[in-house]
Amino acid sequence: MPRPDPCRAVIFDLDGVLTDTAHLHFLAWRALAESLGLPFDEAFNERLKGVDRMGSLALILAQDPSRSWREAEKLTLAARKNAHYQRLLGGLGPGDLLPGAADALAACRAAGLRIALASVSHNAPTVLQRLGITDRFDHVVDARTLHRSKPDPEIFLRAAAALGVPPAECIGVEDAQAGIDAIKAAGMYAIGVGAEGALRGADAWMADLRGFESGLGAHTLPAPTALSAALVARTVASA
Protein backbone atom coordinates (compact mmCIF):
# COMPACT_ATOMS: atom_id res chain seq x y z
CA MET A 1 0.00 0.00 0.00
CA PRO A 2 1.48 3.42 -0.88
CA ARG A 3 1.80 6.02 1.84
CA PRO A 4 -1.35 8.12 2.19
CA ASP A 5 -1.34 11.23 0.03
CA PRO A 6 -2.43 13.42 1.58
CA CYS A 7 -1.63 12.13 5.06
CA ARG A 8 -3.54 14.06 7.68
CA ALA A 9 -3.21 12.03 10.86
CA VAL A 10 -0.89 9.68 12.71
CA ILE A 11 -2.36 7.26 15.25
CA PHE A 12 0.12 5.82 17.71
CA ASP A 13 -0.03 2.74 19.88
CA LEU A 14 1.53 3.32 23.32
CA ASP A 15 3.06 0.22 24.91
CA GLY A 16 6.19 -0.75 22.98
CA VAL A 17 5.97 2.19 20.56
CA LEU A 18 6.27 5.35 22.66
CA THR A 19 7.54 3.72 25.86
CA ASP A 20 8.69 0.30 26.98
CA THR A 21 5.72 -0.53 29.19
CA ALA A 22 5.39 -3.69 27.06
CA HIS A 23 8.21 -5.06 29.20
CA LEU A 24 6.39 -4.10 32.42
CA HIS A 25 3.26 -5.90 31.21
CA PHE A 26 5.50 -8.92 30.52
CA LEU A 27 6.95 -8.88 34.04
CA ALA A 28 3.53 -8.63 35.67
CA TRP A 29 1.95 -11.36 33.52
CA ARG A 30 4.93 -13.66 34.05
CA ALA A 31 4.68 -13.29 37.82
CA LEU A 32 0.99 -14.16 37.71
CA ALA A 33 1.47 -17.12 35.35
CA GLU A 34 4.31 -18.54 37.44
CA SER A 35 2.24 -18.20 40.63
CA LEU A 36 -0.35 -20.42 38.91
CA GLY A 37 2.27 -22.90 37.70
CA LEU A 38 1.70 -21.93 34.08
CA PRO A 39 4.52 -21.48 31.54
CA PHE A 40 5.31 -17.96 30.35
CA ASP A 41 8.14 -16.59 28.25
CA GLU A 42 8.92 -13.75 25.82
CA ALA A 43 7.58 -15.73 22.85
CA PHE A 44 4.23 -16.31 24.56
CA ASN A 45 4.16 -12.66 25.63
CA GLU A 46 4.27 -11.59 21.95
CA ARG A 47 0.77 -13.05 21.60
CA LEU A 48 -0.50 -10.78 24.39
CA LYS A 49 0.75 -7.51 22.95
CA GLY A 50 -2.15 -5.30 21.97
CA VAL A 51 -4.64 -7.73 23.52
CA ASP A 52 -6.76 -6.35 26.36
CA ARG A 53 -6.39 -7.46 29.99
CA MET A 54 -9.13 -10.12 30.17
CA GLY A 55 -8.26 -11.39 26.69
CA SER A 56 -4.62 -11.78 27.74
CA LEU A 57 -5.64 -13.63 30.91
CA ALA A 58 -7.83 -15.98 28.88
CA LEU A 59 -4.87 -16.87 26.64
CA ILE A 60 -2.66 -17.57 29.67
CA LEU A 61 -5.25 -19.71 31.47
CA ALA A 62 -6.06 -21.62 28.26
CA GLN A 63 -2.63 -23.23 28.51
CA ASP A 64 -4.08 -25.60 31.11
CA PRO A 65 -7.50 -26.69 29.79
CA SER A 66 -7.91 -29.12 32.70
CA ARG A 67 -8.52 -26.20 35.07
CA SER A 68 -11.65 -24.10 34.89
CA TRP A 69 -12.09 -20.68 36.45
CA ARG A 70 -15.16 -18.87 37.63
CA GLU A 71 -15.67 -15.33 36.35
CA ALA A 72 -15.04 -13.86 39.82
CA GLU A 73 -11.73 -15.75 40.07
CA LYS A 74 -10.63 -14.43 36.68
CA LEU A 75 -11.44 -10.89 37.75
CA THR A 76 -9.37 -11.37 40.91
CA LEU A 77 -6.40 -12.67 38.89
CA ALA A 78 -6.65 -9.76 36.43
CA ALA A 79 -6.81 -7.30 39.32
CA ARG A 80 -3.73 -8.90 40.88
CA LYS A 81 -1.77 -8.53 37.62
CA ASN A 82 -2.94 -4.95 37.26
CA ALA A 83 -1.92 -4.02 40.80
CA HIS A 84 1.56 -5.42 40.09
CA TYR A 85 1.72 -3.54 36.75
CA GLN A 86 0.67 -0.29 38.41
CA ARG A 87 3.40 -0.71 41.05
CA LEU A 88 5.91 -1.06 38.20
CA LEU A 89 4.47 2.09 36.55
CA GLY A 90 5.39 4.02 39.70
CA GLY A 91 8.96 4.21 38.43
CA LEU A 92 7.99 5.63 35.01
CA GLY A 93 8.93 9.20 34.05
CA PRO A 94 9.66 11.43 31.01
CA GLY A 95 13.04 9.74 30.63
CA ASP A 96 11.24 6.52 29.71
CA LEU A 97 10.06 7.69 26.31
CA LEU A 98 11.61 5.36 23.73
CA PRO A 99 14.27 6.78 21.39
CA GLY A 100 12.77 9.08 18.75
CA ALA A 101 9.30 9.16 20.34
CA ALA A 102 9.39 12.81 21.46
CA ASP A 103 10.81 13.94 18.09
CA ALA A 104 8.23 11.93 16.16
CA LEU A 105 5.36 13.56 18.07
CA ALA A 106 6.90 17.01 17.60
CA ALA A 107 7.42 16.42 13.87
CA CYS A 108 3.80 15.36 13.37
CA ARG A 109 2.64 18.47 15.20
CA ALA A 110 5.00 20.74 13.20
CA ALA A 111 3.67 19.24 9.95
CA GLY A 112 0.10 20.09 10.92
CA LEU A 113 -0.92 16.45 11.29
CA ARG A 114 -3.57 15.37 13.77
CA ILE A 115 -2.33 12.96 16.42
CA ALA A 116 -4.23 10.28 18.32
CA LEU A 117 -3.43 7.50 20.75
CA ALA A 118 -4.92 4.05 20.17
CA SER A 119 -4.04 1.86 23.15
CA VAL A 120 -6.40 -0.73 24.60
CA SER A 121 -4.74 -0.21 28.00
CA HIS A 122 -6.97 1.20 30.71
CA ASN A 123 -3.76 2.55 32.22
CA ALA A 124 -2.89 4.61 29.13
CA PRO A 125 -3.94 8.01 30.59
CA THR A 126 -1.73 7.37 33.64
CA VAL A 127 1.19 6.34 31.44
CA LEU A 128 0.83 9.46 29.26
CA GLN A 129 0.73 11.60 32.37
CA ARG A 130 3.82 10.00 33.87
CA LEU A 131 5.67 10.43 30.56
CA GLY A 132 4.53 14.09 30.42
CA ILE A 133 3.03 13.81 26.92
CA THR A 134 -0.74 13.98 27.51
CA ASP A 135 -0.98 17.33 25.72
CA ARG A 136 0.71 16.02 22.55
CA PHE A 137 -2.47 14.23 21.48
CA ASP A 138 -5.55 15.66 19.83
CA HIS A 139 -7.46 12.58 20.92
CA VAL A 140 -6.89 9.60 23.22
CA VAL A 141 -9.35 6.76 22.65
CA ASP A 142 -10.99 5.77 25.95
CA ALA A 143 -10.18 2.06 26.13
CA ARG A 144 -12.96 1.50 28.67
CA THR A 145 -15.57 2.25 25.99
CA LEU A 146 -14.26 -0.23 23.41
CA HIS A 147 -16.36 -3.25 22.46
CA ARG A 148 -13.57 -5.23 20.80
CA SER A 149 -9.82 -5.44 21.34
CA LYS A 150 -7.18 -5.39 18.59
CA PRO A 151 -6.96 -7.04 16.02
CA ASP A 152 -10.45 -5.62 15.55
CA PRO A 153 -10.14 -2.23 13.80
CA GLU A 154 -12.56 -0.52 16.22
CA ILE A 155 -9.95 1.46 18.15
CA PHE A 156 -8.25 2.85 15.03
CA LEU A 157 -11.57 3.70 13.37
CA ARG A 158 -12.70 5.44 16.57
CA ALA A 159 -9.47 7.46 16.63
CA ALA A 160 -9.83 8.51 12.99
CA ALA A 161 -13.47 9.47 13.48
CA ALA A 162 -12.63 11.55 16.55
CA LEU A 163 -9.93 13.37 14.57
CA GLY A 164 -12.31 13.86 11.64
CA VAL A 165 -9.88 12.21 9.21
CA PRO A 166 -10.80 9.40 6.77
CA PRO A 167 -8.94 6.14 7.54
CA ALA A 168 -7.23 6.20 4.13
CA GLU A 169 -5.50 9.45 5.16
CA CYS A 170 -4.15 8.03 8.43
CA ILE A 171 -0.94 6.27 9.36
CA GLY A 172 -1.05 3.79 12.26
CA VAL A 173 2.09 2.93 14.23
CA GLU A 174 2.25 -0.39 16.12
CA ASP A 175 4.65 -2.89 17.70
CA ALA A 176 2.19 -5.79 17.97
CA GLN A 177 0.87 -8.17 15.33
CA ALA A 178 -2.67 -7.67 16.65
CA GLY A 179 -2.14 -3.93 16.21
CA ILE A 180 -0.87 -4.18 12.64
CA ASP A 181 -3.84 -6.39 11.79
CA ALA A 182 -6.17 -3.80 13.37
CA ILE A 183 -4.61 -0.92 11.38
CA LYS A 184 -4.88 -2.84 8.10
CA ALA A 185 -8.46 -3.88 8.85
CA ALA A 186 -9.20 -0.18 9.39
CA GLY A 187 -7.89 0.56 5.88
CA MET A 188 -4.87 2.56 7.05
CA TYR A 189 -1.17 2.57 6.22
CA ALA A 190 0.70 0.57 8.87
CA ILE A 191 4.17 1.25 10.21
CA GLY A 192 5.53 -1.62 12.29
CA VAL A 193 7.99 -0.88 15.07
CA GLY A 194 10.30 -3.86 15.40
CA ALA A 195 12.50 -6.05 13.29
CA GLU A 196 11.79 -5.78 9.56
CA GLY A 197 9.46 -8.56 8.52
CA ALA A 198 8.60 -9.52 12.11
CA LEU A 199 5.18 -7.91 11.83
CA ARG A 200 3.22 -9.52 9.02
CA GLY A 201 1.27 -7.16 6.78
CA ALA A 202 2.97 -3.91 7.81
CA ASP A 203 3.55 -1.45 4.97
CA ALA A 204 6.86 -0.27 6.45
CA TRP A 205 9.09 -1.11 9.41
CA MET A 206 11.25 0.88 11.79
CA ALA A 207 13.47 -0.52 14.55
CA ASP A 208 12.31 2.42 16.70
CA LEU A 209 10.93 5.90 16.09
CA ARG A 210 14.33 7.51 15.44
CA GLY A 211 14.16 9.19 12.04
CA PHE A 212 10.35 8.88 11.92
CA GLU A 213 10.06 12.41 10.49
CA SER A 214 12.65 11.93 7.76
CA GLY A 215 11.16 8.56 6.88
CA LEU A 216 7.93 10.26 5.93
CA GLY A 217 8.18 11.55 2.37
CA ALA A 218 7.30 15.17 1.67
CA HIS A 219 4.12 14.04 -0.08
CA THR A 220 2.88 12.43 3.13
CA LEU A 221 3.48 15.47 5.26
CA PRO A 222 1.79 18.32 3.42
CA ALA A 223 2.80 21.73 4.67
CA PRO A 224 -0.02 23.34 6.64
CA THR A 225 -0.90 25.53 3.64
CA ALA A 226 -1.13 22.55 1.27
CA LEU A 227 -3.14 20.72 3.89
CA SER A 228 -5.60 23.59 4.14
CA ALA A 229 -5.92 23.72 0.37
CA ALA A 230 -6.69 20.00 0.28
CA LEU A 231 -9.28 20.45 2.99
CA VAL A 232 -10.92 23.35 1.18
CA ALA A 233 -11.05 21.30 -2.04
CA ARG A 234 -12.67 18.42 -0.18
CA THR A 235 -15.16 20.68 1.58
CA VAL A 236 -16.17 22.39 -1.68
CA ALA A 237 -16.48 19.05 -3.46
CA SER A 238 -18.75 17.62 -0.77
CA ALA A 239 -20.86 20.75 -0.28
Give the residue numbers annotated as catalytic, written as ranges.
13, 15
Residue 199 near residue 191, CB atoms below 8 Å: no
Using CB under 6 A as the binding rule, the residues of this chain from 39 to 98 that contact ligand G6P are 48-53, 56, 82
Shortest Å distance, C-beta 239 to Mg ion: 40
Sole binder of Mg ion in the list 7, 10, 11, 13 (CB under 5 A): 13
Which letter, b or e, does each residue of 87-114 get, where b requires 16 or more Cβ atoms within 10 Å of its Cβ? eebeebeeebbbebbbbbbebbeebebb
Shortest Å distance, C-beta 120 to Mg ion: 9
d(CA 199, CA 109) in angstroms, rounded, equals: 27
User: Could you say whether residue 19 binds ligand G6P (CB under 6 A)?
Assistant: no
Whose Cβ is closer to ligand G6P: residue 119's or residue 220's?
119
**Bridging pattern class, strands 114-117 and 170-174:** unpaired
User: Could you say whether residue 52 binds Mg ion (CB under 5 A)?
Assistant: no
C-alpha distance across the termini of the chain, in Å: 29
User: Could you say whether residue 203 binds Mg ion (CB under 5 A)?
Assistant: no
CB atoms within 10 A of CB 42: 9
Shortest Å distance, C-beta 20 to ligand G6P: 11
* Residue ranges that bind Mg ion, judged by CB under 5 A: 13, 15-16, 175-176
* Residue ranges that bind ligand G6P, judged by CB under 6 A: 15, 22, 25, 48-53, 56, 82, 119-123, 176
